[in-house]
Structure 1
Amino acid sequence: MSPVLPLRISPRHPALAGHFPGNPIVPGVVLLDEAIHALAVQAGLATAGLQLGAVKFLAPVRLPAAGPDAELALTWSGSIAPGGNLRFELTAADGTKIASATLTWPGTADASP
């Protein structure tokens, strides 16, 4: 079973104001940023030098202006470690797959400081 981290996107996120007025859709870059940040915090790693590989956006995340936060599940397989490769997926609460991507963390597992 893949590890799971919950992600919450607020309808008050500043990127939603112009993306798109009256029909807010969470920009893909926000989804990627939130996922990468959550993975980095989980592993205690910095994101400088991270390599983002194949990215697929499969469904939009829409948020009503005054509604609740979007609740997403972040799952991954692979290694969250220096030099590690992983694949992650974001899934909505109803099971809809939202996005997937591959990452390579900077450094190597056996590098000296």
Structure 2
Amino acid sequence: MPHRTDIHFPADHPTAAGHFPGNPVIPGAVLLDTALTAIAAVEGLAPGPCRLRAAKFLHPVRPGERMRVEWQAAPTGGIAFTGSVADRPVMTGTLTTGSAAS
């Protein structure tokens, strides 16, 4: 069973003004950082190296939206995660943590 958490990106998120003016989206790097930080907090992982094995962005996330992040152990090792907004997938990825990431 996957773990899950919700992340809200406020309408006045600092990246909204510059990415992109008139058509704001939350940058992929911010989506990843926020998701990986949430996963680490729930899993009790110490800050440290991790290797992003794969990431794919499927749809933009806009300021004011809430992204649900779900994750579980990947069959090949590491953690597989997805992000969705209103049940629409917005990103997928796989990461390894700890000594496996070195």
TM range (shorter): 0.7 to 0.9
TM-score w.r.t. structure 1 length?
Answer: 0.78
Correspondence for 1:85 among 57, 78, 86: 78
RMSD of aligned alpha carbons: 1.6
The gaps in structure 1 that reach 5 residues or longer are 64-68, 109-113
Q: Structure 2: 5+ residue runs without aligned partners?
A: none
Higher strand proportion (structure 1 or 2): 2
Query: Which one has the largest radius of gyration?
Result: 1
1:24-82 alpha-carbon deviations (Å, 9 max, x no partner): 1110001001100101111222332111111100011123xxxxx31111111107xxx
How many residues were matched structurally?
Answer: 98
4+ runs deviating over 4 angstroms: none
TM-score by length of 2: 0.86
CA distance in 1, matches of 2:71, 2:95: 10
Q: Conserved in 2, the CA contact under 8 Å of 1:47 and 1:105?
A: no
Identity across aligned pairs (percent)? 39
**Deviation, structure 1 residue 98:** 0.2
